[in-house]
Structure 1
Amino acid sequence: MRAAGLAVKRFFSKAKPDDLLLLAITGHGKRDDRGKLFFVNRDTVPDSLWVTGLSAEHVSHEMRNSPARKTVVLLDCCFSGAFVHDEGLAIPLPPAAPGQAATEEDEEDRRTRGTVIITASTSIEQAFETNGDGDKIRSGLFTRCVVDGLETGEADLNRDGEVDVNELYQYVATQMGRIAKGRRQNPTYSAHRMQGVLRIAHSALPQVVDRPQPVRTPRPRPAPVPTNHGPLSRRVLVPLLVLGGLLSGCATQADSTIGGGGCPTPVQVRVAAAPGGLTAYREIAAGFEDWVAGRQHGCRGVDLYVYPVEAGEVTAGLRRGWTTGEDGADYLRDAGPQPDVWLPAAATDVPPGGLRDVIDRVEQVAQTPVVLGVPARARADDGLRRAVLSWPDLFAAVSRDPGVVRADFASSVIARMATAKLYADGTIDQAVARTTVEQPLEKALDAGTYPVGDEAGLLCRQRAARSSTAVIVTEQQLVRFNRGDPLDGACTGAAPPASADRLLAFYPADTPALEQVVVTLDWQGRAQSATTRAYATWFVRWLRQIPGRQVLLRAGLRPPGLDADEPLGPAYGALTVWPFARVVPDEPDELTRSDTATLHAATRRPGRFLVALDASGSMRTVTPDPDRTRFEVAAAAVEQAATRLGRRDELGLLTFSGRATREVLPIAPAGADPVGRVHRATAPIQPAGGTPLYEAVRRGASALRAGPGDPLRTLVVLTDGQDTSGQPRPSAAQTAGVRIFVIAVGDVSCADATLAGLATGTGGRCFDAGKGSLEPVLTGLFRAAWETGN
C-alpha cells in the first residue's frame, strides 16, 4: 500500500492547473472503529489499517494540495460513500499561466472547475461484484457500468457528443437499478465548488444538437492518454489503482454533501420532458437553477437534469413503478432515469386516473395556442390573422394556395388537436374528412417532400426549403422558429430565417390552447429523498411566481397573470394581444379525442412498406449475442416491427447481395400473420457477396410506385456497407414519390454523406444502429418508420 500512496501523491502533485484529473480506485474498502475509510490490499492488517492501508484522508489531502482545478474521483469498493465525509476539500483555483492565448476554449476551461466524487455505495453499504460475459473475469458492478457507458457511448445521455460526470453518474445509477436486482447498494454523487460542466469523454453515438455550438479557435494540445472511449478534448491524466479484488455496485443518492467551506452538493431533480420542447424546457430549468444560485450566495444548489421521454413511455413507466414490465420491456433503461418531475407536451398526455399513488400534483403554468404559420412570402390576407375564421374555413382558404402541412397524427398531440377542429370536433362524415382535409394535407406534404413526423421535422424542412407552404404549429414553436432557436434535434444549426421566410401566426377563432402543465411525482421514499421532493415542489411554485413566469414568457409561452411581451409580438410573427375572443377553447376532451382518432383511422391513407435488407457477406458478422448474426437480428427486428402494420397497410421484402437484388416477399396486404410471412421469407437466406445498395434503392422505389392508389410509400433500407457495384447513385427522378429510411449498422454510419443523402432528399431519415445490441435499436427504428403510416 506504500507504493499506492506514493502513486497518488505523484499523480496529484505533478498535475498542471489546466489538467483534468481522473482518479479511479477499485478494490476492497474497510472502515475503522471511528468510521474512517481505508483502501486495503492483500497485505493489509485489519487491526492496523492506519499503518497497512491507504486512508481516504491521505487521498483527500493530496487532492486538496494539487494545483489542478478539475478532479473526478471514481471509487469502487465497500463503504466508499464514507470518502466524501472524511475531509473537506478546498480545491485551489490558481489563475491561468501568464501569456496563454485567450481562445474561447481557454475561457471555457478556465470557467470549468471543481471536484466530483462518484462512489459505488453509501458509507454503510457493501459493494458487489460480477463475472464477465463468458470470460470469467471478475469485475465490480460499478466498474462494469462505468466501462460500458464509456465504451459504448451510452453514457452520453443528451447525445451532445460528450460524456460529462453528471451523465456518467445517471447512466451508472440507471444501469445498476436494472442489474442489481434488489440488492441494497446505492452509488453517491458529490461535488465541490463546481463551475461549468466536467466532460470526461467523447461519445461515438450520433449527436443531437439542441443548442448552437460555439465556434472555437484551434490551438495546439498535448497528446491525450489513449482510452477505449475516444480522445478527450483537453489534457487528462488517468491513473487506475486496482487493490485486491474488484468489488462494486450502483444506485441513487442525489443530495449528499462535502464538508468544509465550499458549496453544498447540488440536489439533483430528474425532469422527464416531451422531446418536441426539450430545448425550451432546458432553458426554463436553467432559469430556475440560476434563480436558486442567486439566493444561495452563488452556490448552485439544484441541478435539474432534463431528458426527453415520450408521453407513452412515461405512462408505462409510472404504471410499472419504473421497473421491468410484464412484456419484458425495461422502462428504467428505455425511458431514462426515474423522474421527479414530468413536463408533458399537453395536459391531455397526463393519464386521467389510476396513478394517483405516484402522481402528486398537476399544475398548469402556461399555455400556447395552436396556430397556422403562413410564410411571409405567401402574401396571405393579413386581415385573417386575428381570429376571423374558424379552423375549417381558414384551412380551406390557405390550403388552396399556398397549401398546408400537418405533423403526423400518431406522433403529435398538436396535430391531433388541430385535426379535431378541422373535423369539427369529430362530427363531419368520413368522405368530407377525406376530401377536404386529408387529401390537401397529403398533397402539400408530398409536393414539398416534408418528413412524416413531428413539428420539428416539418420546421426543419421549412427552414431548408424556404417554401411558401403553411405549417400547423403552436405559437411557441412559430416564435422560436422565427427567432432562430434550435429545432430539438431535427436538424443541425440555427439561424433566424430571412424576412420572406418568417412564419406569420394566423389565429383561428376556435383554436384551442395547448396547456403547459408540470407534474410532480412522489415515489413514496423509493429512490427519492425528501430534499429532492422539496426542490421539485419549489420548482413548480417558482414557475407560478413572477420570476418563473418571466422565464416561461422568454421561452415563448403565455403564463397566466403576466402581460404578453416580446418574443410574443410582431418581431417574431406573433400577435401580442391574443386571445381575441373571451373564451379560449380547452384541449379536446376524451370523447372528442376518441371520435377524432376513429375518423382519422378511417380516412388516413394506408402505408405501402418495402424493406430492402442487406444480405451481403458482412451481414454474417456475429453480434454481441454470439448465437446470432447481424442478418438474423435484423430479420427478427423486421418481424417484430411488422406487428405494427394496420389492416390496410402493405408490406414487401427484398434482399440485395453480390450483384443482384431479389424480391423474397412481394408487396401485398399484411394479412393475419405478417410475422410468419417475414420469417418464412428470410429463414433460408445465407448472406454472401457484395453490396449492390444503389440497385436495391432503384428497384425498391420502382416497386413501391407500381402499385395502385395513393398510399404513403416508404422504403426502409438496412445495410452495414456502402455500395460495391460501381453503379451511379439513384437520381431524384428514380426515387420520386418514395420516402427512404436508411438504417446504418456495423461499420457504416449516417455521418456518411452518401447514406444520409439517400434519405434526407426524399423526406425520410437516416438512423445509426451502431455495433451494439442491434435488436432493441432496430426494433425502435423500424417502429419509428412504421408509425409514419399509422
Structure 2
Amino acid sequence: MAEGRHETLRGEAWTPQSRAEHDEDVLLSARGVRGERSLRLTGPRLGAVPPPVRRPRATPVTEPVVSPGRPGGGRRPADGPQQTQQTQQAPPPTHGTQQPQQSQRKSRQLPGQPQPKPSQPQPKPGQQPRPRSGRPRQPAQLDQPQKPQRPPRKLRSPRRSVAWITVLLSLTATGFGAYGLTTLVGGSSPCAPPLELRVLTDPDLKATVGAAADAYLTSAANTTGEGCRRSGITVYSAGSADAVTALRSETGAWHEPRDEDLNPQRDIGPQPDVWIPASRADVPRVTGGQDTDALARLEPDDRALAYSPIVLAVPTSLAAASLDERVGGPLTGMVDALRERHDHLEVRRPDPEFTDAALLATIGLYGTGADPGRVEQRLAPPGPPAPTAADLLCALPDDDAVDKRTAALVPEFLLKSGVGCDRTTRSPRTAQYPGDVPGLEPVFVRVRWEGADRDRAARDEAADGFRAWLAGEGGRAAFGAAGFRAATADRALLEADEAAAGVLPAPSLLIESAGRDAMETALRRYRDARGPGRVLFLLDSSGSMAGLWRGPSGGPGLLKQSLGGLGGRDEYGVWAVADGRGRAYETLLSFGPHSRRSAEAAIDAGARVRDAEADPYAALVAALDDMAERGAADDRPQLIVHITDDEDVGRLTGARLEDLLSRARLADVPITTVSLANGGCAAGRPDALISTASGGRCLDADDEPGSGLSAEVARTGTGE
C-alpha cells in the first residue's frame, strides 16, 4: 500500500487497518478450482452502507473475475453475502489475455484498490500474447510516443494489493498465536463450540466443584470420537441464603429483571442449569415456599455427592486430649470447656447468610434455649464476619497471637485441601467433632426454566453427562482429593491414606441430616441477633465520681466514645445511678433510637455528679428486669454497660451479690462493667464475678477501657 502510494478520499496515505464488525465474517483467502488461486472479500451485510468509492479519471480496463461455477472461479462460502471486485461481469478470457475495450460504465472499487489506467496496447504482430499471472502489468498511455524512456512505476494489480493486505494481517496475527493466524487465513477447527452448562454452587464448594469441572472437561466422558468436547462448564457461586431466596420467590425477576433493586442476574449470576448446594436441606427450603408461578423447577438427586462434617478447628496446644472430649459432645459444651482452659479464647465462624457450613454451625451454637444475641456477642471479632471458611482461615495467621487462641468453626475438608491464601505458616489445628452440628452434603440439582426449550435435548444430555461423572469415580476422586468423606455408610474418608493432620479417620459422626425447619429457624434467629441492638448504660453519678468525671477518660467521656458503635436503628438509653429520692437511678436519656449528636447533647446537658451514694445492686437488678421485658418477643442483641469507680462496691456482698449473680445467669443479657479503679476486674472481685455470670466483659484501668467498651458496644449495635 505504501509503495503504491494509495490515498484516501481526503488525500491522505491509505494505511491498512483491521476493523471487526459484529457477526460479520471476512474471507481473506479461499481455494479455487483446478488449482488456480482466487481471492474474494466478503462485503457488508445486506442493507449495510457500502464503503466510499473513488471515481476513476479515465475509462478503466476491467480484468475479469470469473463468476462462481465457471472454471477458475472461486467457491462462494456457505454463509453470508459476498461482494466481488467489480459490479459488471467481463467476458471470458481469450488465450489467457484480455482484449482492450472501452466501457462507459463506471466500475466499483474497494478501499485501497489502485486507480486503473487507460487501456493497454495490443500485442505486436507475431508476438505471443503474455499469459495471465499474478505479476503486475506495466500500464502505458495510448497517446504516449513510442520512444526509449524510463519505464513508468509499476502498480500492483487489485488482486496483488489485496494479497499484500492478507500478508500484513497474517503477520499481525502471529502475535496472537497460531489460532489467530489460522482463523485469519481461512483455516478452521473441526470441533464446533460446545454447549455451555451454568453451574451455581455454595461459596465454600466453589474451589472443589471447579476442580471437578476442570477434570471432567478433559475426561473421556466429555470427549467425542473426533476428540471434541461435548460440553463446557461455567462454575460460579453466590451467597447460599440469596440463592435459596431467588429460586424460591424471585425466578420471575431472574428471568427478566424489571426492578433495579431486585436483579438476581446481577446479584447472583446467570440462570443456572445445575445447582450444587452444600446441604440437601436447601432443596426443600426452596420447594416448600416456592411461588405457584415460579419459572424454575428443581430435580434433585436422591443421594449426596460427598460429606464433610463441621468441626471446631482448635489450636493443637488448646485442644482436648481425650477422644471422648473430641467427639460427640454438644458444641456449646466444647466451647465452654475451651474457655475454661484459656481465659482469652475466641471462637469465630463465617457468615451464616453466605455459606451453608456457617449456618449449620449456627444450629449447634444456638443449641437448646440459648439466646442468639448473647451467643453472637461472644463470637469475635466485632463487625462483619468473614464471608467463607477459607477467608476465615486465611485471616487468622495475620496476627500470631489471635491465631494461637482462636478456634474456628469450618468444614473438615479444608484442614486437608487448605486455602488459597499467602500465609503458609499457621498454628497447627486439631479437629473436634460436635454431635449436634449437621455436616455438608452437596447434592446435584438439575434446574429447568420455563420456556427454555430450544436446546433442551442437548442441554439435558450435557447435564446428565456431568451428573453421571460426578456421581462416579471421577467425582469421587475430585472430592477425595479435596478432603471429603463418603456420603453413605460409615462416611469414611475418600482418601484415607492422605488424611490431614489433626483429623480423625473414623470419628462417630452425626448421621442425621440437617432439616429445612432447623436451617430456616437458625437463619431467622441469626438475622434478629445481628439486627438492631439494645444497650442500657448505667453511669455512676455518685459524689465519689467527681474526680473521674471530666475529659475523654472520665465516665461521660467513655460513654460518648462508645456511641459510634450504635446506629440509627439501634435503641439505647442512659441512667444516672445515684441513690436519691427513694430511687436507685434517674433517666438521663430515654430509651429508644437516637442520633449520635442528639445523644451527646443530652448527656452534656444532663450528666452531673450528685451529692449521693450509688446502689449498684438495685440499679443492676432494675436494668436486668427492664431489658428482659424489652427482649421478650425477639432475639435482638442486648447489652447492659455499668461505668463505675467502685467506691460503693461494698453494697455488692453476701446475699445481695449471690442474688444478683443468679439473676444475671438467667437473664441472658450480658453485663459489661467498666471499672475506673485499678484492679477492679481482679479475680474474685464483684465486677469480675457479675460480668462472668452474665457472659459479659470486665474492663478496668489496666485494659484500655475506652477501646474495650467501644468494641463491646459495636458487637451489639449496627454502627454509625
In the superposition, the TM-score normalised over structure 2's length comes to: 0.49
Rg: which structure is higher?
A: 2
Under a length normalisation based on structure 1, what TM-score does the superposition of the two structures give?
0.45
